[in-house]
Chains A and B, each alone.
Chain A
Amino acid sequence: MVFPSNPVANQMPTITVGVADYKISTEPSTFLMTHALGSCLGITFHDSKRRIGGMLHAMLPTATLHEGEKIREAMFLDTGIPRVLSALIRAGAKKGDIRCKVFGGAQLMATDNFFRIGSKNIDMFYRLSQEMELDVVAWEVSGRVNRSIRLNNQTGDVIVKIPARPEFIR
């Protein structure tokens, strides 16, 4: 719980990222936040040398089910992650200096045939992170909790909020 004792951080502006959306910020004194990940994945990207950060809130693993349709790239991990990375690099970040943290992917009670978006998202992110050689420094995924996250672009810290529990930092 850093916020209450940190008045500077308390005054920093917050950019909100919606579901199936991404945002980047080149302003160090900024938070990027997204609410209620559910089974979605929230991925933070942070270049600590240049204090450039990004956040993706992706709902589904792959856009392949929607070939030929007009899609929102940030809806899907396989189209959203390349999109955020290229935006960060255009903004001045260096790929080799970007650290990622991944959150969400909550799972419903075990079923063999239904409602497995959480586990599919985690599997897809793992695969993509290998293929794209992402430097993933924190995994706060799976479980039966609805997470909201806030990236401090100054430090790269991510504050995690879960219903009925105290906030914590990853």
Chain B
Amino acid sequence: MKSAADLQTVVEMTRSIPCAPAILPKLLKLAEGSSSDLGEMEMLINLDTGLATDVLRTANSAFFASNQRCDSISDAILRLGSKVLYRIAASTLTGRWLVHPVRGYGWEPGDLCRHSLCVAICAETLAKKMHLGDAATAYTAGLIHDLGKFALAYANFTALDDITNRVPDEFATWREAEKVILGFESTQVTKALLENWGFPSTFVSVGCYYQTPSECPGRERKIVTLIHAAKHVATQIGYGVGVDGFYYEPDELALKEVGFKEEEMDAAIPEILSTIQCFISPSGEIRFT
């Protein structure tokens, strides 16, 4: 398979995956608004029974609960606030998609989900520590950064085995092997999926350029570089890293341009790890909410 038509096939196949995170962009818009439309948010959440359950459970958890029990989504929205609510939605919807069992990249079940969650937490922590923009946006960008790989694995291409067998003997990097063997890169699949679902341009840029942030035009380069850094930090931590994980080149130019320093990133790891371990047990079970 070596054509743009194949890329389109991959994107089309993912349409049949249940619970794709397509309502996220709508929720993001509502959560970002200065006067969030609670009615519309309630309607969106109620469209998804699993999400509605998670929202209610969180609103009634020990952390958020008050004297009064929260029995409706509208009460839960008021109690949690739109930012917390969006985070729950991003984790629940994306996580549910990413844990879908697929073959490829040497993944064990749930590996992509574990890794994406780690990238999200790394991005959120580094965004806060280095004042690199909105931490919630960074978190979501981390969750969705590699959806294209999920789509490729879901499509069950034997070409993925070919890449695995030929890196590193014939190709130094995973990207090079994708270009030659597939005819396109997984980042192109991510871009196409996010565009189809109507994600804002920030996320599309992350999906498209996170492996090569220096190539990202304009003002979105900063968040793209943040996800690039977060991806590499998460890879070093190890959770869910597949056979491809260590075959991507760090973009030193972009990292320096944004002001990343190795010692600062290393120093952030204990905090990042503590957060990750709130969501992933020692045996690898994931608990999003």
Contacts and interface: CB of A to CB of B under 8 A. Distances in A.
Interface string A38-63: 11100000000000000000011000
A164 B153 CA distance: 14
Contact of B241 (A38, A112, A116): A38
B247 A144 contact: yes
A109 B236 contact: no
A46 B105 CA distance: 33
B34 interface: no
B184 interface: no
A38 B238 contact: yes
Given A112-B252, A144-B168, A144-B247, A19 B270 contact: no
A142 B240 CA distance: 18
Interface string B234-273: 0111111111011111101001100010110111011001
B240 A108 contact: no
B73 interface: no
A19 B118 CA distance: 13
A36 B235 CA distance: 10
Given A66-B267, A111-B250, A146 B260 contact: no
B198 interface: no
The DSSP consensus for interface residues of chain B is loop
Contacts of A28: none
Interface range on chain B (Cβ under 8 Å from partner): 35 or more
A17 interface: yes
A109 B250 contact: yes
Contact of A117 (B250, B266, B277): B266
A145 B262 contact: no
A37 B238 contact: yes
Interface in A6-46: 16-21, 35-40
Given A144-B245, A163-B241, 18 more contacts: A19-B237, A35-B238, A39-B236, A65-B267, A66-B267, A71-B270, A72-B270, A106-B238, A106-B246, A107-B246, A109-B248, A114-B260, A115-B235, A117-B236, A144-B168, A146-B242, A146-B246, A162-B106
Interface of B: 105-108, 164, 168, 172-173, 232-233, 235-243, 245-250, 252, 255-256, 260, 262-263, 265-267, 269-270, 273, 276-277, 281-284
